[in-house]
Every structure is written in C-alpha cells, then in structure tokens.
Amino acid sequence: MSVLASSLDGNLQWGGGARPFKWGCGGPCFDAAQDKRCQAEIIIQGTNGMNNELQYGVIGNGRLARHLVHWFRSKGLRVLNWSRAVARRSASVEAYLASADVILLAISDDAIDDFIVMHPDLQAAALVHCSGARVSEYAIGVHLLQTFGDVLMTPADYDRIPFVVEAEAATILELFPGFPNPVARIKKSDKPYYHALCVLACSGTQMLWQKIQTGFEACGLDPTIAVPLLRQSAEAVLIDPALTITGPFSRGDTQTIKSHLSALEQDPYLSVYQAFEGIHRNSN
C-alpha cells in the first residue's frame, strides 16, 4: 500500500450537486434521465435475509475471484472456486463445477468466450462474466463497479457495490437473490464508453496520485503532506460533480502553465498535462 493510500480513509460521501442522484442503495446512482450516453435503469433490490439456496461457482484465481469467493462465503452461500491450480490436481472445470447453478467467470476479458467455447458443458449453468467493457455471446455481463485490491473487504462494503447489468439480460434477482446491492442496467453498445470512464476515473486517478507521491519524494518532500489536498479535491467533486476547476487552467495563468510544461519536458506525464489543459481550454 502506498504512503498516500494508507493515509486516506474511505469515508467520502456523495452529496448534492448539479446532477440528481437516486439514494437508498448505500452509494451513488446517477439519474438515468440526466445521462444520455449510459441510460441506466436504476433498480434497488430489497432483502430480508439471504434466502438464497443457489450453488455458485467462480472461475479464476485473481483478485476479483478471491474477493467474490470471500464475499459469498461471508454470506454463508455455497461457492466453489476453480482455477488452473485445481486443474493441476486433475479436476476438470466441468466436473468441479457440475453442481453449480450460477458460474461467474472472473478471468481476463479476452479469454471469456474462448473459455466457454472450450468448455461447452458449463452452459448447463447460468454463466455470468464480470467484464465492464465486453459483451459475450454466451454469458450475461454483470460488472461490479468497484476496484479490487489485495485487501479483502467487509461484507457491508461488498453489499454497497453497484451491479451494472446489460439491459438485455434477465432479471438479476434470479442470479443473486437476496443481495442488497444497487443495480443499474446499461445498453450493450454503451459498455465500452462506460468502462472507459471507469478506467479514467479510477486507474487514471490512482496513477496521478502515485505520481504526486513519487514527485514529492524527488523534491525531498514527505508525500503525506499532499493528503489534505487530495482529500479535499476528492470530497469537493463528490459533493458537486459540476464544480468549477480551480488553478492556473481556470485563471488563465499563461506563464505558470508554460513553466509547468518546461518542468515536465522530459516527463512522460507531459502529454497528460497538455491533454488536461487542452480539454479545459476547449470546454470554455
């Protein structure tokens, strides 16, 4: 865990702002009427206890697979986890997951359809893939709108993760009865754009925060002094997604911007800075 990550807490709250939210799910849900690109139907699942007798199978041994297995077992659900390690013990995926009602493929996007084609007997169960960008001919797409690191979460944290489901898919309640997670439906054609936004906001932000940490260290500064700045920036945009950007871009400080470009001349983040400046300039 980075110095900055270990110094930040996870208590940021979504609040009012220029765009309306739907509440009641333990997290933010943009009103679909306000978003023309991802017309998501927001559904909140009610639950009075799990009441879930399904047998689940999870394919994979990466971080997502480990989180899914941990989450499901913490709920007292029956879950089997197959991976290449199991295969080395001579247990085929078909035999190992023969009793599964729902099978989740927590594998790389490019492998999803090829894996199913190689193991057609798996289609006796309901197949679910977890890719946010890809559409499968053989499996229902259910993307968990969260980033999954090495540290496992609490059951309450998992229960707040939104399920983003393909609009053409059958009811999610049949696959995950009793789960309290918020559900949003998205058209298959919008998935690449939706997931690109997720990557920009999540991976992009993480890379920028890692950059300020290493950059401060190069300047002889303790990177933890950036924590208040980063926390305030995150809280401000969560409270008001349409807030006005501050800093030299908004003030039009040409000389300051030029000095930044000069300082970043040999830095791979020069093009990132230039892109941000150009986007801000063209949007005003």
Q: pLDDT tens, 115-163?
A: 999 999 999 999 999 999 999 999 999 999 999 999 999 999 999 999 9
Range 81-105 average pLDDT = 90
Q: Which of 57-66, 81-90, 192-201 has the lowest mean pLDDT?
A: 81-90
At residue 242 the predicted structure's pLDDT band, cuts being 50, 70 and 90, is confident
Whole-angstrom CA distances from 255 to 38, 183, 259 are: 39, 47, 6
Higher pLDDT, 14 or 144: 144
At residue 168 the predicted structure's pLDDT band, cuts being 50, 70 and 90, is confident
At residue 50 the predicted structure's pLDDT band, cuts being 50, 70 and 90, is low
Domains parsed from the chain with CATH numbers: 3-9+194-282 (1.10.1040.20), 32-191 (3.40.50.720)
Range 244-272 average pLDDT = 94
Pairing of strands 102-105, 78-82: unpaired
Record the pTM: 0.79
Question: Alpha-carbon dihedral of residues 246, 248, 253, 257, nearest 10 degrees?
Answer: -170
Range 50-63 average pLDDT = 92
The pairs formed by 62-68 with CB atoms below 8 angstroms and a separation of 24 or more are: 62/106, 62/107, 63/148, 63/149, 63/150, 64/106, 64/130, 64/144, 64/148, 65/106, 66/152, 67/148, 67/152, 67/153, 67/158, 68/104, 68/106
pLDDT, position 47: 40
At residue 8 the predicted structure's pLDDT band, cuts being 50, 70 and 90, is very low
Q: Which of 84, 91, 85, 93 is nearest to 117 (CA)?
A: 93
pLDDT, position 6: 33
CB atoms within 10 A of CB 94: 13
The mean predicted confidence, pLDDT, of the chain is 84
At residue 283 the predicted structure's pLDDT band, cuts being 50, 70 and 90, is confident
pLDDT score of 240 more than 70:
yes
pLDDT, position 246: 86
pLDDT, position 85: 82
